[in-house]
Amino acid sequence: MLDVLSGKTATVPPVWMMRQAGRYLPEYRATREQAGSFLDLCFSPKLAAEVTFQPIRRFGFDAAILFSDILVVPHALGQTVSFAAGEGPRLAPVVNAENVDRFGTFDLGKLDAVIEAVGLIKAGLPPEVTFLGFCGAPWTVATYMVAGEGTPDQAPARTLAYRDPATFQKLMDALVEASITYLVAQFRAGVDAVQLFDTWGGILPPLEFDRWVIAPAKKIVDGVRSQVPGAKIIAFPRGAGTQLERFVGEVPVDAVGLDWTMDLKFARERIQSKVVVQGNLDPLLLIAGGEALDRGVDAILEAFSGRPFVFNLGHGITPDAPIANVERMLKRVRGA
């Protein structure tokens, strides 16, 4: 995978899946029960390492990704983070114009357990498996910090950014600096490359996309590489659509993730001609299985073959995906 991220074309593309360590695996569910809460699992180095290893043992993916969560960054900025069963994350107090300054100091020490897990994972991974770290992009993390929870339209963060861009900029600046510090720590602890997840980037119109997605991503890439020269970085601005062309023109990442809505012809001609692409199978095809899954895999292989690319999903695998369909996908990709 590192060869592909360096621009080399592989006969068989490297493959991994976003959320590949998760609830669709019985071994993950057993480990999660042992840990207790989701955050307890994230902050238990040995258990976080174990669930990172699980999909590698079962499927032999070409990359392992650190098991953690994007919301450990707000935790290290002083915001209380919890996960309610069946309800998703809760953050308090919500960030607003009156309290934004209290979230400007990032305490990396609060993430010592995550960095310890990185070391354990690096020591235990087969040498041929690329080790990916990650963090959430500032815009996506900010949407949770301002709303205090996940929302369908990210209206609280979007409204604050429109009404009080100076306040929102303070939050984004703090998140940029936190992200740089956190990713550099992951590299120094042993990851080979990192991915920047901007799950909600595509919800913004062009001017706001430039300010809150492109500009912070460029600052993070430049900031990380100033301390880790040559750092391999993948960006995933989900839902960016045609704005992705502008993104890759301005943010010097090594690869860009494509969501499942991305037109393959557009991606090959306008994106893959500039940067390595990663993606973009619809996660629901792993539910459907059968010939529909085969057609989806084949379309991606046909579109991106002959140039460097990483096979992945267009977003995270869902908890109800049958393991047999993951195995079928891998066989199809690898020609087995």
**So which residues are the catalytic ones?**
19, 23, 32, 69, 144
Q: Among 1, 3, 38, which Cα is nearest to 21's?
A: 38
Task: Give the DSSP letter of residue 96.
Answer: -
175: enclosing H helix or E strand: helix 165-189
> Measured at the alpha carbon of residue 48, what is the angle toward residues 42 and 49, in degrees to the nearest 5?
155
For residues 142, 283, 118, 149, the Cα torsion angle rounded to the nearest 10 degrees is 30
Instruction: Tell me which residue has tokens 């949407």.
Output: 143
Dihedral class, residue 83 (left if φ above 0, else alpha if ψ from -120 to 50, else beta):
beta
- CB-hemisphere CA count at 13 Å for 243? 20
d(Cα 258, Cα 278) in Å, to the nearest integer?
6
Cis peptide before 152 (omega within 30 of 0): no
Pairing of β 80-84 and β 88-92:
antiparallel
Q: What is the CA radius of gyration of the chain?
A: 19
Contact yes or no for 45/117 (Cβ under 8 A): yes
State how far Cα 297 lies from the chain centre.
21
- Yes or no: say if 111 and 76 are a contact pair by the CB < 8 Å rule: yes
What is the widest separation between alpha-carbon atoms in the chain? 58
Q: Is the distance from CB of 303 to CB of 6 less than 8 angstroms?
A: no
Give residues with Cβ within 8 angstroms of 112, minimum separation 6: none
Tell me how long the chain is: 336
